[in-house]
Amino acid sequence: MHQTATPSAQGLYDPRHEHDACGVGFVVDIQGRRSHRIVRQALQVLINLQHRGACGCEANTGDGAGILIQMPDRFLRKEADRAGIALPPAGEYAAGLIFLPREAAARASVQALFEQIIVEEGQRVLGWRDVPTDDSSVGPSAVAVEPVFRHLLIGRGTVTAVPGDSAGAWFERKLYVIRKRFERAVDQLTLAERQFVYVVSLSSQTLTYKGMLTADQLGPMFIDLADEAVESALALVHQRFSTNTFPSWPLAHPYRYVAHNGEINTLRGNINWMKAREALLESELFGDDLKKILPVIREGGSDTASFDNVLEFLVMAGRSLPHAVLMMIPEPWQNHESMSAERRAFYEYHSSLMEPWDGPA
């Protein structure tokens, strides 16, 4: 029977607990086997979450939707061969989805700037790939501000990792420095040049497709996602219900590390404290590159984008992902009667380094 009204309180259900929020989904093969099936399942999960997203007065203009997958090496190798680009072995190259200006001269200027920074950081520009899209189902408001979509392929340069650091971790850190330098340089461009510009992802490990879309528009929009060669052992999807920012192409999730459901109530304090700490930051892993990545939090982002900026920084500085997440979102440990002394000490120590990013997350 189709439900047209909220049911009355019964069993464990109480209508007072109803809340609207974004939809988040995650699909994984726990044995790490990559397949296109995982990608298809994730896109179906996203469609199943469509009721958790929002659209404008145009039903076909959404608040945002996206998917994060492992690097689809077989697919990118096929596409690179078709474009005459020689890809190094998996792990020794990076790919990123880049939003670029629609005007040709501005786009060429932005791409040249990106390439210059890559070379200055000792890495190799392998080439650019046009990402095929079909926006026929996308609403006019989203199409009016739609960027040009291109994949950027970067080859790993000579590794100069510190002792105990892996070549893969070093490369990810160098890509992070490149992206942060590019973002800062873009802010100095003219409005015509920087309009539409955004680095969706830039990594040797993951690739993200996202945009100002509804859940069922993501697959048709990015034609790559229908290719059987796009394989992953995991996929993270998100359907957005924007609450504290207007919808836009860059503000769709997933970001580079997270997709988030909820609001961060302590956001302004979190941002201010992070800025205050920047003068005291030190890192053996970054060394002199540390100054190139500041500010850690990029202005103009949503609460989740700001959270993702800090989480990414903590991971790049050498912490594991679980460690960094527990620093930012600690359990309520102070009065926890059954918590072990070791875990309590962990939270107590980190509370002196960072305040919680708090909210109904």
Would you please indicate which residues are annotated as catalytic (active-site) residues? 22
Nearest CA among 153, 237, 165, 159 for reference residue 202:
153
Pairing between β-strand 206-211 and β-strand 124-130 as defined by DSSP bridges: unpaired
Question: Which of 202, 210, 319 has its CA nearest to residue 259?
Answer: 210
Q: Tokens 């501005």 appear where? A: 106
Closest among 135, 258, 278, 265 to 206, alpha carbons compared: 258
Residue 325 near residue 357, CB atoms below 8 Å:
no
**Residues near 98 by beta carbon (within 8 Å), at least 6 away in sequence:** 114, 149, 150, 151, 152, 197, 198, 199, 200, 202
Three-state SS for 40?
Answer: helix
Q: How far apart are CA 311 and CA 293, in angstroms?
A: 14
SS3 label, residue 188? coil
Q: Which of 93, 55, 71, 81 is nearest to 239 (CA)?
A: 55
Contact 256, 312 (CB under 8 A): yes
* CA–CA dist 125, 128 (Å, integer): 8
- Alpha-carbon gap, residue 142 to 346, rounded angstroms: 45
Neighbours of 284 (CB within 10 A): 12
Strand order in the sheet with 198-199: 124-130, 148-155, 93-100, 198-199
